[in-house]
Structure 1
Amino acid sequence: MLAETICSAAAAAGLGIAAVAAYRKRYLSAARIAAYALVPLGLVMTGAVEWIADTAFSPVAWAGFGVLGGAWLLLSSTRAIERRRGGRTDGGGGAEAVGRAERAAVAPTASAPRAAATPKPAADDFSDIEAILKKHGI
């Protein structure tokens, strides 16, 4: 009840300020002030202020926010641990699955790309540049 009274008083004061601005022939400012003044009145009329006041002073609502925060913390920490482990999870075979994954990572496969045994000489890089420069007459 107190929140509704305060919002209604703020709306009345805002409309009074808008009337003064309109009296001074500042119609655009008066319309803007009136629009802002009508927002708290609209919130009171829709019941949003009562809902917010009931939620803000309800211990059950705050406990619910705490439970939601705990769930978010648990979810984000498990995701961070999963990323740190490289996507491995606890279920599905345990040490056997990890052992197989490590053996597969160590053993070379036919589909794995092979690195070049000898690097290209540095002269090839400069020959391309020289060709471009000669093309432009430099």
Structure 2
Amino acid sequence: MIAETVCSAVSVAGLGIAVVTAYRRRFLAAARVAAYSLVPIGLVMTGIVGWLADTAFSPTAWAGFGVLGAAWLLFAGTRAVERRRGGGDSGAGTGRGAARRAGREAVAPAASAPSLGQAGRAAARPSAAPRASEPAEDFSDIEAILKKHGI
């Protein structure tokens, strides 16, 4: 009952401010203030304010919020531990953890190629030639986009 009275008073005060603003010939601002001031009375009329007031003073509702908070903490904690470990609880080797490990194994031989010496560098040079043409293609695409926009 008190929450409804407060919301009604806020709405009336806001409408008063809107009238004064309109009197000063600032109609756009007056319309905006009137729109904001109608929100609290609209919430009262729909019953949301009563529901919120009942929820705010209900110990059961606060206990429910506590349970939801604990669940969120559990989710966040397990996610942080999973990220720190670098995988998941995939006991049989299935799932995202196995896919990540397989991806790492595939990348590892190519990552160590530069440290092989001259033989590794000679093998890496033929693949370096196509890479030189790729940035030119990327820059031509960017250049076409910039020309399209007149830059």
Shorter-chain TM-score bucket reads 0.5 to 0.7
Question: Relative to 1, partners in 2 of residues 1:115 and 1:49: Cα closer, same or farther, differing over 3 Å?
Answer: same
Q: List aligned pairs for 1:1-138, cutoff 5 A.
A: 1-89=1-89, 91=91, 115=113, 117-119=116-118, 120=121
Question: Relative to 1, partners in 2 of residues 1:84 and 1:23: Cα closer, same or farther, differing over 3 Å?
Answer: closer
Q: CA deviation at 1:91?
A: 4.9
More deviation, 2-11/67-76: 67-76
* Identity score, percent: 65
Higher relative contact order (CA 8 A, sep 6+): 1
Residue 18 of structure 2 aligns with an amino acid whose one-letter code is: A
More deviation, 47-56/22-31: 22-31
Q: Distance in 2 between matches of 1:88 and 1:16?
A: 60
Question: Relative to 1, partners in 2 of residues 1:118 and 1:25: Cα closer, same or farther, differing over 3 Å?
Answer: closer
Q: TM-score, normalised by structure 2?
A: 0.59
Question: Relative to 1, partners in 2 of residues 1:17 and 1:82: Cα closer, same or farther, differing over 3 Å?
Answer: closer
Q: Distance in 2 between matches of 1:89 and 1:28?
A: 59
Aligned-pair RMSD on alpha carbons? 3.1
Structure with more of its chain in helix, by fraction: 2
Q: Distance in 2 between matches of 1:88 and 1:27?
A: 60
State the SS of the aligned residue for 2:117: coil
Question: What 5-or-longer segments of structure 1 have no aligned partner?
Answer: 93-100, 102-111, 129-138
Q: Which of these two proteins has the greater Rg computed from alpha carbons?
A: 1
Question: Relative to 1, partners in 2 of residues 1:6 and 1:86: Cα closer, same or farther, differing over 3 Å?
Answer: same
Structure 2 counterpart of 1:97? none
Q: How many residues align?
A: 107
Structure 2 counterpart of 1:98? none
